[in-house]
Amino acid sequence: MKSSLALTPGIRQVQAPLQPAITSMEHRSDAPGPKGRVSKPAPVTSNSTRSRTTIPLSNHRGEMVANLGSRRISLALAALMMTGALIAPALADEPVRGAEVIVPEVVSIVPHDPTAFTQGLEIHNGKFYESTGLYGESSVRIVNMTTGEVELQRDLPDEYFGEGLTIWNDSVVQLTWRENTGFIYDLETLEPRGEFTYIGEGWGLCSDGEDNLWIADGGLTIKRFSHDLTSFEEEVEVRVDGLVTDKWNELECPSNDPFLANRWYDDNVYRINTETGIVCQKVDFSAIREQFETEDSGVLNGIARDHAGGGWWVTGKNWSNYYQVNIPWGDFDPSSCEEESSIQCEALVLQCGVSYWKATDGFAQDLEFVSVYAFFFLLIILPPLYIWKRQTEKPPLTSEDKQEGGQHVL
């Protein structure tokens, strides 16, 4: 019988079971389930046609105008291609460079419960604090860092899906996915201390060196909670290679250092400058997953800093191990990173525009997005079209045409 969050004894000692990893995952990119794809409706077509009647007197003139219209379209397309040909070389000459890729080194390996659908990971006083997910299987637990044994565990009620976890104000704080509820536990006993509510989904959670809580909801930003946990006071929009990027998940917020975050279905951990939201470095864990993990292992989802030992640990959903890793960060230069990212965004105008559109919310922002693109279209395309129109402008109807009922056919 599972222990719930009610104030009843719910702590139990268990040995990490060596069972086959579960295969059900809430994060399947090709499934119609939670966080999966939604099929697009088929486009609606129309077979309706419009009949037109012309007078023989104007047939020749109508053909001439139709030819001019086709020629005008061809000229417009040629102008568009010419504009792209002129702009592309100039943009290609810009010194575009993406985030620096870092390859970690494995220092040690500790067994991990393969049935644990890991959602968050922290280290405190030589112990792993871990949050697991899935409805009916979610928990918060304390794990021995030497043996991988689960020493304490508290299960969530079946209607809650556990998500990110962190240590904050001598307590353990855990998010839930779509239940808009966060739970606070005693740091030593995991007894419930309280709960709070928030707007949106909960994915990742971390505490910085100033006792601030930051949350990731799978969107384009990382948000800071107010100290009373009743609202959001700040948000940082994250950009990778100049593009606003979403699906931010597990978080780690070292004191006085850039944040670390992983993305859903991504083997990288990204280092984020919280002043600008720009990613200058990313750590690629794909080789570790491919070398040590099984086909039943899920995605990377858990990174924690050992403040006492000075190292880093990672794991994932249904992974068979925790990995202590050395990450050669090198020098971190936010100023040069910001400059390179802005150049990248200028070189990929269309992609940046799409990213901006994804980042905005509401009719006003959508209108602004459309207006910006309309302005550039008018600026580049219309002046040549106006010149060509002046050169091919069809003549007005003559008095003879009017008397005979002639008309120009478009």
Q: What is the distance between the alpha carbons of residues 359 and 351, in angstroms, rounded to a whole number?
A: 12
Instruction: Give burial (CB, 10 Å; 0-12/13-18/19+) of 311.
Output: middle
What local confidence, expressed as pLDDT, does residue 309 receive?
81
How would DSSP label each residue in 249-283? EEEE--TTS-EEEEETT-SEEEEEETTTTEEEEEE
249 contacts 205 by C-beta, under 8 angstroms: no
Query: Two tokens at 72?
Result: 């005008």
176 contacts 202 by C-beta, under 8 angstroms: yes
What local confidence, expressed as pLDDT, does residue 126 receive?
94
Reference 118, options 324, 287, 262, 326; nearest CA is 262
CB atoms within 10 A of CB 160: 22
What local confidence, expressed as pLDDT, does residue 47 receive?
44
What local confidence, expressed as pLDDT, does residue 358 receive?
44
Q: What is the distance between the alpha carbons of residues 327 and 329, in angstroms, rounded to a whole number?
A: 6
Q: Domain ranges in the chain?
A: 57-93+360-404, 100-338
For residue 299, how far is the Cα from the chain centroid? 15
What local confidence, expressed as pLDDT, does residue 98 receive?
79
The residue length of the chain stands at 410
Reference 187, options 205, 168, 203, 202; nearest CA is 168
Query: Two tokens at 146?
Result: 């030497």
What local confidence, expressed as pLDDT, does residue 374 receive?
60
Which positions of the chain have pLDDT values less than 70? Answer: 1-97, 332-410
How would DSSP label each residue in 76-120? HHHHHHHHHHHHHHHHHTS----PEEE--EEEEEEE--TT--EEE
What local confidence, expressed as pLDDT, does residue 67 receive?
53
What local confidence, expressed as pLDDT, does residue 256 receive?
78
276 contacts 378 by C-beta, under 8 angstroms: no
Query: Two tokens at 24?
Result: 């059900």
What local confidence, expressed as pLDDT, does residue 331 receive?
74
181 contacts 199 by C-beta, under 8 angstroms: no
CATH number for region 100-338? 2.120.10.30
What local confidence, expressed as pLDDT, does residue 333 receive?
65
Query: Two tokens at 274?
Result: 């919280």
Q: What is the DSSP letter of 56?
A: G
What local confidence, expressed as pLDDT, does residue 346 receive?
43
What local confidence, expressed as pLDDT, does residue 376 receive?
57
Query: Two tokens at 197?
Result: 């509510």
